[in-house]
Homo-oligomer: A and B are copies of this chain.
Amino acid sequence: MSKDKPDIIAKMRTLISETVNHVGELAIVEGWVHLRRDHGKLIFLSLRDRSGMLQIVVNANVSEDAYKAVKDVKPEFAVKIKGIVKKRPDNAVDKSSIAGSVELEAKEIIILAKAETLPFDMGGKNLNLELPTLLDNRGLTLRHPKIASIFKVQETLIDSFRQACKKKGFTEYQSPVIIPQGAEGGSEVFEIKYFNHKAYLAQSPQFYKQIMVGVFERVFSVNKTLRAEPSVTTRHLTEVTTLDVEFGFIESWFDVIDMAEYVIKFMIESINDQNADILKTHNVSIPKMAAKIPQLKLREAQEIIFKRTGRDNRQDPDLQPEDEREICKWALENKGSDLVFVTHYPVSKRPFYTFEDTEDPGYTLSFDLIGQGTEWLTGGQRINDYNKLVQNAKKRGIDLEKSEIYLQAFRYGMPPEGGFSFGSERITMNILGLKNVREASLFPRDMERVDERFSH
């Protein structure tokens, strides 16, 4: 039994997901105690590691030592357990669990770290806490498998975003957080004291990704964007991880909308492939996607909504939340799609660098992707002509004085280009049907909270 030598044991950890391949063998597992159930001389633990959950059987008649060691063990203790992997009887197999066909009969238990008594039960399938409690205890609540799974989906989304872009010849670049001024002239910008100067936090990588088109033609970035959002809604955070794409040598803005469709579909399909079990846990399925996501001009969408509901928002420069829901209903009923592109927003509603449609003056070559009743993504073609860009900025009262390197990119030959942007938290929320975007951010920041709740 050379496996018993302490220095060898050290290297012999078996992940819980692997135990099923070691039936009848001695194995060492490590993880956190998820649940404990006492039945006299028989104690059951659910052990949780990064790969799954395993039933541990501590039987006083099998190992007195293990039974003694487990005496004070409570949920969230970190432990190392040596034991024999045993097949569970057919009628006790838990098919929903990766190691549900086996259990470990404990021979030896080592406590790696103790835990205080939990402030609430963490052992259920769901963690039914009010949002403030969930967030006040984020260092603990993130461990709950269903909460943690949200961030596995987020990882897949960001990862598959990168993969989709790479397949299309894009280069990933690093966009700065500290900027010389609010790039798009917005007011909701955080100011920082920068030595003897003022600087600001980037609300978007817009200027930088456009500069990078001049360097690599096709670029993408995963950014931290910061917005001094002065309201508390279920959809807004002050810190967001945005996914940005920008590329040049487009033939028309359709290249941009097509690329957006390709990327978002790739991401959604990746979730379906890689996180099917998590979708099941959250009781959701991926959005219905037609072969081609339907495209409507804003005015067409408003006309449809008017006809369907009698709500006349045909003069609005944007869709109201109820309109977003209605147009998605229409798309699902008529086009078999949970997603719909709404295009041609008025010039006045889009940033100064947005390309106006020469065939539809007053309206821009811009689009939003509306998914399951809410905005997912925004994009469009940009003005690539230097003089026009500068004129447009002036017309809108945007000061580009501190944006010299942005202007350079256009002064020295910028091809026709466009791009799009979306927030990873918003997409995570939508895919998993979460009610509040804070649930889709590991450490959400808003007016009222930066980790701790501000006391007023």
A residues lining the B interface (CB < 8 Å):
10-11, 13, 15, 30-33, 49-50, 76-78, 80, 112-116, 118, 136-140, 142-143, 148, 151-152, 154-155, 158-159, 169, 171-180, 190-197, 199, 201, 208, 211-212, 214-218, 222, 224, 226, 228, 230, 238-239, 241, 248-249, 251-252, 384-386, 402-409, 411-416, 424, 441-443, 445, 447, 450-452, 454
Contact = CB atoms under 8 A, between A and B. Distances in A.
A176 B443 contact: yes
A204 to B, nearest CB: 14
B193 A190 contact: yes
A249 B11 CA distance: 11
26 contacts: A30-B249, A49-B217, A76-B413, A78-B249, A113-B414, A113-B415, A114-B413, A118-B412, A137-B408, A139-B411, A140-B214, A140-B412, A142-B211, A142-B212, A155-B171, A158-B174, A173-B442, A174-B424, A176-B443, A176-B445, A177-B226, A177-B239, A179-B451, A191-B192, A197-B450, A403-B451
A452 B214 contact: no
Contact of A415 (B78, B155, B251): B78
Contacts of A217: 49-50
Contacts of A252: 10
Counting every copy of the chain, the complex holds 2
Contacts of A197: 450, 454
Given A50-B217, A139-B411, A176-B224, 18 more contacts: A32-B214, A32-B413, A50-B218, A78-B249, A115-B413, A137-B408, A139-B211, A139-B405, A139-B409, A139-B412, A140-B408, A173-B442, A174-B442, A175-B443, A176-B239, A180-B452, A212-B442, A405-B451
Contact of A113 (B140, B413, B450): B413
Given A177-B177, A192-B190, A172 B158 contact: yes
Q: Is the interface of A mostly helix, strand, loop or mixed?
A: mixed
B412 A142 contact: no
B452 A137 contact: no
A138 B450 CA distance: 35
Nearest to A447: B195
A406 B194 CA distance: 28
A115 B411 contact: yes
Most B Cβ at <10 Å: residue of A197, A411, A412:
A412
Contacts of A228: 195
A424 B80 CA distance: 36
A178 B226 contact: yes
A271 to B, nearest CB: 15
Given A50-B169, A177-B239, A239-B178, A249 B112 contact: yes
Contacts of A447: 195
Contacts of A114: 413
Q: Which 5 A-B pairs have the closest CB atoms?
A: A139-B408, A139-B405, A115-B413, A78-B415, A50-B217
A32 B384 CA distance: 14
Nearest to A172: B155
A452 B412 contact: no
Given A50-B218, A454-B197, A405 B78 contact: no
A159 B406 CA distance: 27
A384 B113 contact: yes
A116 B411 contact: yes
Nearest to A169: B50
Given A174-B442, A384-B113, A443-B176, A10 B226 contact: no
